[in-house]
A and B are shown apart, each in its own frame.
Chain A
Amino acid sequence: VAVYQRSARPRFTLAMLVLSAATLVTMDVRGVDGGALENVRSRAQDALAPVQSVARGAVSPVVSLFDGVVDYHRLADDNAHLRQQVADARSAQVSAADAQRENAELKALLGLQGGPGPRSVAAQVVTGPQSNFQLTVVIDRGSAAGVRTGMPVTSGHGLVGRITAVSRTQATVLLVTDPGFALGVRLSPGGAIAVASGQGAGRPLAVGLVDPAAAVAPGAAVVTSGLQPSPYPPGVPVGTVHSAITAPGALRQVVQVDPTVDVDRLTFVDVLLTNGTQ
């Protein structure tokens, strides 16, 4: 009997623990806990934030050295690529300035007024993806700074993602490249409306529901559509068209979009203080 008890106890313990974990997962996924689990999480994150800040400061030189060694070849390639982009951007800036002037003149002529953009709060990215299965980053601004779930997050180059969890001092941003991320976009030059979604780290965004007759060329700009009830304001750059293919007889184009923001190298971002409807 003693031998049986010794061999049965680990299995009983395992069964109890598995049952407890499965219950927690079910409660969290179905949201039947009334936000209690999320509250526990946000309190734990706030409590450990000072420790993480000190530890990050202590090890950042080592991490930077490691990154420098590992990414040396990538940095050299990036440098050459960025020099080319700067040259292209200078050329495009001239055209854009002229288009802005023309746009302002035409709006004035038609009596149109653009409303003021949403207020924003700047934040620093404190960690990269927390999970290996969801593409998120953590920023150092939370509910104390007015950040709420669903708010869009941008950088100087375009859309970064949206807020999915908030504690008092930190917030989690779901990146635009995550497979669970989708948003309404407008494709230039024709202005076709479509839905873009992430496909994972290092992969372009997939744009669906594009009319085969719509003119979509590689390099064309893709911006947020801003159509209600989207939480994203219109005109925020999302990416540029990488490829657009229409199979013979297909009812839609297969469009791939390169994000304008390099989500692997985010440092500072802006949280747009909209209503955060998602």
Chain B
Amino acid sequence: VNEATAGLARHLRTPLFLAVVWLVEEGVLRGLRIDGVRPELLLAAAVVAGLVGGAERGAIVGFAAGLAADLFLPTPLGLSALVFCLTGYATGALETTIGSSTGDTRAPAAAITVGAASAVGVGVSAVVGTLVGLPGVFTPHLVTVVAVVSLVNAAVSTPLVKLARWTLSPNDHQSEPALSASPGRR
């Protein structure tokens, strides 16, 4: 019974991880704009999931995070799910390939990875958004959006990584572990 309860608790951690980030973004930070730009913590959650849990977990969490974001956006439903899913997967795949070989597990490295991956995610959002018909996406303001989103996401990466390590523990998944598998990252 104890094992079953523990297993259930483990499986509830991932939705809990997303729920915490979602509530912070949609509830607490919903009115916050930095130079007219809205922080995208759910994108950071997808990136961190890839970083900590590997490519598959990054894709799954990214899809769920994007879908949650889409519910409150005027853009087409599924757009963020598509972009976050790809970003989470790519981060996990790159982390497995590059991160494991370098063994660099310090917080600054994670912040740089989260910031860079978030910048790429915003860029991919702009491209996909334009493809589905959003007008005027590629304006000078896009540079500000990329800069603000990547800096904010890099700044929140440390608590997000800690939260993700707790929710996406190695026992909770079978795909290739990335950040969490390296001893130096604990």
Contact = CB atoms under 8 A, between A and B. Distances in A.
Query: A and B: partners?
Result: yes
Interface of A: 6-7, 9-10, 13-14, 17-18, 20-25, 27-29, 37, 40-41, 44-45, 48, 51-52, 54-56, 58-60, 63, 66, 70, 126-134, 136, 164-165, 172, 174, 178-180, 198-203, 264
Contact of A10 (B38, B40, B59): B59
Contact of B23 (A14, A51, A203): A51
Interface residues of B, number: 57
A180 B134 CA distance: 8
A201 B71 CA distance: 23
A195 B5 CA distance: 64
Given A44-B71, A131-B38, A132-B145, A25 B27 contact: no
B110 interface: no
Given A18-B85, A44-B71, A127 B125 contact: no
B122 A132 contact: yes
B82 A25 contact: yes
Nearest to B149: A132
Given A131-B73, A178-B136, A52 B26 contact: yes
Given A9-B175, A55-B27, A60-B31, A198 B136 contact: yes
Contact of A131 (B27, B75, B85): B75
20 contacts: A14-B85, A21-B67, A24-B77, A25-B77, A28-B78, A44-B72, A48-B26, A59-B29, A59-B32, A63-B31, A63-B32, A70-B34, A126-B31, A131-B38, A133-B134, A134-B74, A164-B74, A180-B136, A200-B139, A200-B141
**Is chain A's interface secondary structure helix, strand, loop, or mixed overall?**
helix
Given A6-B176, A21-B81, A22-B82, A130 B59 contact: no
Given A18-B82, A25-B132, A55-B27, A264 B36 contact: yes
B79 interface: yes
Contact of B60 (A17, A45, A126): A17
Nearest to B54: A10
Contacts of A130: 38, 72-74
B36 A10 contact: no
A128 B33 contact: yes
A201 B145 CA distance: 11
A55 B59 contact: no
Contact of A24 (B40, B60, B81, B92): B81
A17 B31 contact: no
Given A10-B55, A45-B72, A202-B36, A55 B78 contact: no
B135 A22 contact: no
A172 B125 CA distance: 21
A41 B38 contact: no
Interface in B127-144: 129, 132-137, 139, 141
A20 B26 CA distance: 24
Interface string B86-116: 1001001100000000000000000000000
B78 A24 contact: yes
Nearest to A33: B77
Given A6-B176, A52-B26, A25 B134 contact: no
Contacts of B122: 132
B76 interface: yes
B176 A10 contact: yes
B76 A179 contact: no
Given A10-B59, A198-B136, 16 more contacts: A10-B93, A17-B60, A22-B82, A24-B81, A25-B77, A25-B78, A28-B76, A52-B27, A55-B30, A132-B37, A134-B73, A174-B74, A179-B136, A199-B136, A202-B141, A203-B139
Contacts of A51: 23, 26-27
